[in-house]
Structure 1
């Protein structure tokens, strides 16, 4: 079975800077993959390139085994849902209408029904009729996650979906993404919290300076050597009842 998402030797530039330098990665059905790395490592660029939102200067991006550039916008939308970092919503629409935007090809009633179920799934059903401009950042994040779930595509890409959220909201978002993978979907999520990445992901891919420097099980990919070279951390993993915990300190810069 082909991967739901593939980057094969992807090269991308922003101006004179190379942001992806031969990046190869994949996500398969039933798999949750965490994309980790320091700021500026290329995580967001990899997510956008996989969706055809960033042009490649070399290599290829595929969704469902087909080159993303050969897919229409509708075909891309049917194969992958996208939850971007940006949470700005221009219009003060009710949450249920924002969530329903994830199903633009359904009838209005069917889209709203799917939206209401997704809002309930993320614990935001009580916000259905409230305008998104009247919500906190955490509430808006749940509504946007619901919109991504409404798509019901086989693949979901989430770019730093827990940034700025309180611990409860962080865990809820990751639980919903984990549930999507457990139900047979593929999930690629970029994360800065290495402990949470190790707890929820089947596989971790580490980017540094636009290159893949590790790809494997969480503890393998986030080995002490990788923690040192990519994150400048002196760290070890400690077993805990809910999963591994990272004990780390910054390496002193000479």
Structure 2
């Protein structure tokens, strides 16, 4: 059974359709990357699964139960959500912010789980530093640690590597991949197609609010899909650490 699932999901924002009969699922032990151009519906799909975007039609389920029927506490116990935005209102120490990801534990246990999550994303040395005093990359690590500290069966992660240096991008995706291998269901939105191909078990390609491909990375990101969805003339080549994308802008006729 899928831990995370959208079935024929339809949603709109401001009169614009942002999800159009989207089918998407993630099983335990699986990392699925959702990719697509800006405005394709990636964040909307993740928000719908988090219970933050009401559906006009179709269904969103966590662990087989409808998201709309779950209380906020039940949703929080089943799935962790990391949004794109990294704004933090208060200058909390990193350890306290990360501990907010484990609200159902006793304070000491939540703090221990938060420290373990900070260590996991190589930010343990930031535990006592205020998040407002950090760089954007450091803050991104702390926010990821907050999501990891939940221990929920599902992880919804929206553009976690945006603005990070290459080494940090690889570290984040390695950690998410490890979480999937440990049994969590991980759904992550990405813009980097090569990294999606390298780390994901499956890639879901969204375009104009609908799914145009859902398959193993090299199949989902075929030359035809890259041309039609991303406007790229691309092909995949073998690299020392995984597939590499050789691509350029597609030349339009006329």
Name the TM-score class by shorter chain: over 0.9
- Segments of structure 2 that go 5 or more residues without pairing to the other structure are none
- Residue equivalent to 1:168: 167
Shift of 1:105: 1.3
- Residue equivalent to 1:177: 176
What SS does the corresponding residue of 1:244 show, helix, strand or coil? strand
- Are 1:159 and 2:158 an aligned pair? yes
Query: Cα RMSD (Å) of the superposition?
Result: 0.7
Mapping for residues 63-74 of structure 1, pairs under 5 Å: 63-74=62-73
Question: After the TM superposition, which parts of structure 1 deviate over 4 Å for at least 4 consecutive aligned residues?
Answer: none
Shift of 1:222: 0.1
- Residue equivalent to 1:129: 128
- Residue equivalent to 2:97: 98
Tell me the alpha carbon deviations over residues 75-108 of structure 1, each in whole angstroms, 9 at most, x when there is no partner: 1011101111011110000000000000111111
C-alpha distance in structure 1 between counterparts of 2:15 and 2:179, whole Å: 38
- Residue equivalent to 1:148: 147
Give aligned pairs, total. 253
What SS does the corresponding residue of 2:239 show, helix, strand or coil? coil
Q: TM-score, normalised by structure 2?
A: 0.98
- Segments of structure 1 that go 5 or more residues without pairing to the other structure are none
C-alpha distance in structure 2 between counterparts of 1:116 and 1:5, whole Å: 27
C-alpha distance in structure 2 between counterparts of 1:187 and 1:210, whole Å: 21
Shift of 1:251: 1.1
C-alpha distance in structure 1 between counterparts of 2:132 and 2:177, whole Å: 28
C-alpha distance in structure 1 between counterparts of 2:6 and 2:116, whole Å: 33
C-alpha distance in structure 1 between counterparts of 2:120 and 2:14, whole Å: 41
- Residue equivalent to 1:192: 191
C-alpha distance in structure 1 between counterparts of 2:152 and 2:15, whole Å: 35
- Residue equivalent to 1:49: 48
- Residue equivalent to 1:113: 112
What SS does the corresponding residue of 2:149 show, helix, strand or coil? helix
Shift of 1:16: 1.6
What SS does the corresponding residue of 2:234 show, helix, strand or coil? strand
Tell me the alpha carbon deviations over residues 50-97 of structure 1, each in whole angstroms, 9 at most, x when there is no partner: 111001001000000000000011110111011110111100000000
